[in-house]
Amino acid sequence: MTGRSRGSGDARFTVRLTPRGGSDRVDGVVDGVLHCRVAAAPADGAANEALLRLLARELGLPRSSLRLAGGETARRKIVAVAAGRARVAERWPGLVD
């Protein structure tokens, strides 16, 4: 699944997450998927929460603006950003339509 936008200001996109990746960082966009890694383990939602905090920090948005819209237990996740379409498109061109 590739990145998709929803609504006039909301964004939805696919993330491939690597938990226990050594550090929290965004590796870039590959074929319309944002590749990220976090130091947290994939237990009790820790890696998912670390991912959302990382993306919020990268976008300069409050953590409450982001949520997982799918893939809670998978490496590929769908992230929804409320009113963040322009910021996502500016930060990672090609990620949202």
Is the pLDDT assigned to residue 2 strictly greater than 50? no
Most confident of 4-18, 50-64, 82-96: 50-64
The pTM of this model reads 0.89
Q: Give CATH for domain 4-79.
A: 3.30.1200.10
Q: What pLDDT sits at residue 19?
A: 97
Give the start-to-end residue ranges of the domains of the chain: 4-79
Beta partners for 30?
33
At 22-44, the pLDDT tens digits run 999 999 999 999 999 999 999 99
9 in helix, strand or coil? coil
Task: Indicate the average pLDDT of the chain.
Answer: 91
Beta strands in 7-84 (DSSP E): 10-18, 25-30, 33-37, 66-70, 76-81
Beta partners for 11?
5, 81
